[in-house]
């Protein structure tokens, strides 16, 4: 039931927009309130946990971001020339990479790779071609892989490499909120939006029995959105 509702959200938005498309009072200057497009994005993904997360005293944790991406099909409906609502459906990655130094003897590279079916819903403000977008994003977890690479500093070589399916230890849904700012160009008669923004995770995605650590997804995004009808 939840999966059906997730997929239906952008379809409901499109249905409402088509029902109102004949009303000229809400159309932008071109008279086209509804347009469709695609979006691709490069991410810098990381997952945060509290400072008191359960690690032993002789472990030193160094976390860094990991590259990611998303690809969406989009629909945008203009309520006014300066205000629009956007939604979409697509795939998005999340995750993190961190290094653990256990007593100076063993080094562990740990990578969590998450893949979501994602539905963003955003309000968009426009001032000329300048854009400001903000809103929530809901994700349905499709896969979760955890990889550990262990190196022994006494030998100077990798000892083991292990990849595990940890989908049963990650929450089935994620909820985030984000904002973006950018500019819309019109090359070749089409509308191309270039935006950058940040997404904060609002839900603890750790769902393993007995685990008290809290994990939250955070993402820095650089996006290109192409619409097939210019405003």
Query: Rounded CA gap, 32 and 30, in Å?
Result: 5
How far apart (Å, rounded) are the C-alpha atoms in residues 182 and 195? 4
Tokens 């300048």 appear where?
Answer: 130
Return the closest-CA partner of residue 92 out of 4, 2, 199, 3.
199
Report the mean per-residue pLDDT for the chain.
Answer: 80
**The pLDDT of residue 110 is above 80:** yes
Residues 160-210 have pLDDT tens digits of 778 899 999 999 999 999 999 999 999 888 899 999 999 999 999 988 776
pLDDT given for residue 87 in this prediction: 97
Closest CA to 23 of 91, 107, 79: 79
Measured from the Cβ of residue 105, the count of other Cβ atoms closer than 10 Å reads 11
Give the percent of the chain with pLDDT over 70.
71
Q: What does pTM read for this prediction?
A: 0.78
Q: Could you give all domains of the chain from N- to C-terminal order, each with its CATH number?
A: 36-52+65-97+112-140+172-227 (2.40.160.20)
The percent of residues above 90 in pLDDT, for the chain, comes to 52
CA angle (57 as vertex; 210, 106 as ends), nearest 5: 95
């Amino acid at each position: 039931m939840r999966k059906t509702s997730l997929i239906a959200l952008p379809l409901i938005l499109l249905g409402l927009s088509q029902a109102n498309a004949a009303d000229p009072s809400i159309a932008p200057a071109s008279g086209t309130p509804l347009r469709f497009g695609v979006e691709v994005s490069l991410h810098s993904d990381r997952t945060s946990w509290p400072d008191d997360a359960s690690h032993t005293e002789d472990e030193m944790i160094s976390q860094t971001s990991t590259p990611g991406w998303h690809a969406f099909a989009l629909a945008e409906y203009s309520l006014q020339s300066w205000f629009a609502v956007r939604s979409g459906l697509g795939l998005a990655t999340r995750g993190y990479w961190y290094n653990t130094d256990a007593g100076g003897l063993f080094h562990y590279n740990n990578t969590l790779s998450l893949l979501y079916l994602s539905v963003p819903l955003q309000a968009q403000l426009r001032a000329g071609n300048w854009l400001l977008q903000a809103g929530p994003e809901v994700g349905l977890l499709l896969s979760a892989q955890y990889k550990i690479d262990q190196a022994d500093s006494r030998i100077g070589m990798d000892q083991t490499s292990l990849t595990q399916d940890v989908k049963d230890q990650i929450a089935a849904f994620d909820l985030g909120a984000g904002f973006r700012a950018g500019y819309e160009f019109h090359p070749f008669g089409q509308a191309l939006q270039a935006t950058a923004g940040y997404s904060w995770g609002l839900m603890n995605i750790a769902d393993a029995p007995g685990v008290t650590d809290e994990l939250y997804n955070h993402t820095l995004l650089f996006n290109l959105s192409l619409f097939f009808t210019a405003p």
